[in-house]
């Protein structure tokens, strides 16, 4: 009796070629967690070495920056960049999560909120502020995520932390009558406020919605959120998951933003001489860049060699490598 010939169904699915090291900027769809997006990207990139720079809630859409391969080491720096959001805040209702996914805890008639009062409250939440994060945030309290404690029925008290809201623009204000735009028939009238904000890393737009409603005495929560920029990466360079899948199928490998190009969008750049590039690849120090903070050091061949920071050593200003991407 002859052995059975292996057929197509017996073979494991072909693993896609591993994508080159670099960043992928995704326009995250609503209903997906950031981890869901990473999982899809791992499949497309042919590697598990994929991470993201800053979580987006499932209800939110927009820019989610992913790192593939060595580019995951850049994500720590991308996370710290400021961010732009477009959002809709509903005044007249407060929820347990400060967004539309939570349970209603208080409602009030917001139809009497005057535009001058709204503008004044927005101004008070602009600039350097102290913000109490939402109780369903990912902040750890005694080693456990705040959202996990809140969902377990625990009372979660988070300390206020510094935040910077450099832009808080009111784009539109719309009255919402009961029975309209998802407002229950028995609810008091509400106001929907469309805003555009620019915030520092770690700022919660949900908490801005909550605090705006509290300041106006009617309660508030977030009903829509779209992230339009993270540092140097905006929606203009973002792709949908469908587009990424189509590109990977068409070209045979997922395209990424090369490390050097990614660094240029995130950091000031130091163009290296050949000897400097060699020295940095060995972890040696080179002459100072003269720029504050972290600088991307690019070789004459256009390769990202390292990230460097200026410091003093032996009475001289020098640039030390804080992350070597192209070791010797």
Active site residues per annotation = 57
* Closest-CA residue to 184 (of 87, 97, 90): 90
* C-alpha separations of 86 from 53, 224, 244, 312 in Å: 19, 8, 24, 42
Instruction: Assign 3-state DSSP to the chain and report helix, strand, coil percentages, each to 5.
Output: 25, 35, 40
The span from the CA of 164 to the CA of 169, in Å, is: 14
Which residues 6+ apart lie within 8 Å of 69 measured at CB?
18, 19, 20, 21, 22, 47, 49
Q: For residues 314 and 290, what is the distance between their CA atoms, to the nearest angstrom?
A: 17
* 312 DSSP β-pair partners: 317
CA angle 101, 147, 221 (to 5 degrees): 35
């Amino acid at each position: 009796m002859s052995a059975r010939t292996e057929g197509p169904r017996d073979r494991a699915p072909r693993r896609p070629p591993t994508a080159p090291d670099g960043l992928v900027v995704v326009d995250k769809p609503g209903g997906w967690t950031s981890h869901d997006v990473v999982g899809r990207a791992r499949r497309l990139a042919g590697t598990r070495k994929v991470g993201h720079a800053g979580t987006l809630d499932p209800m939110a859409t927009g820019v989610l920056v992913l790192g593939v391969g060595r580019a995951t080491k850049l994500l720590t720096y991308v996370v710290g960049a400021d961010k732009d959001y477009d959002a809709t805040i509903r005044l007249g209702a407060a929820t347990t999560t400060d967004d539309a996914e939570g349970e209603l805890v208080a409602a009030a008639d917001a139809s009497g909120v005057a535009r001058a009062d709204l503008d004044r409250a927005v101004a008070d939440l602009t600039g350097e502020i102290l913000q109490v994060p939402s109780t369903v945030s990912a902040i750890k309290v005694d080693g456990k995520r705040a959202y996990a404690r809140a969902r377990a029925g625990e009372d979660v008290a988070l300390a206020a932390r510094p935040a910077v809201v450099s832009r808080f623009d009111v784009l539109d204000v719309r009255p919402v009558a009961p029975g309209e735009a998802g407002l229950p028939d028995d609810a008091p009238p509400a106001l929907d406020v469309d805003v555009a904000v620019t915030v520092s890393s770690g700022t919660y737009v949900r908490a801005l919605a909550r605090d705006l409603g509290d300041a106006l005495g009617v309660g508030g929560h977030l009903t829509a959120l779209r992230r339009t920029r993270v540092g140097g990466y905006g929606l203009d360079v973002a792709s949908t998951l469908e587009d990424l899948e189509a590109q990977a199928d068409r070209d045979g490998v997922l395209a990424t933003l090369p490390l050097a190009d990614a660094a240029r969008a995130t950091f000031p750049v130091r163009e290296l001489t050949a000897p400097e590039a060699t020295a940095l690849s060995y972890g040696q120090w080179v002459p100072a860049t003269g720029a504050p903070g972290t600088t991307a050091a690019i070789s004459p061949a256009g390769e990202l060699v390292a990230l460097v920071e200026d410091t003093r050593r032996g009475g001289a200003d020098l640039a030390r490598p804080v992350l070597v991407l192209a070791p010797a």
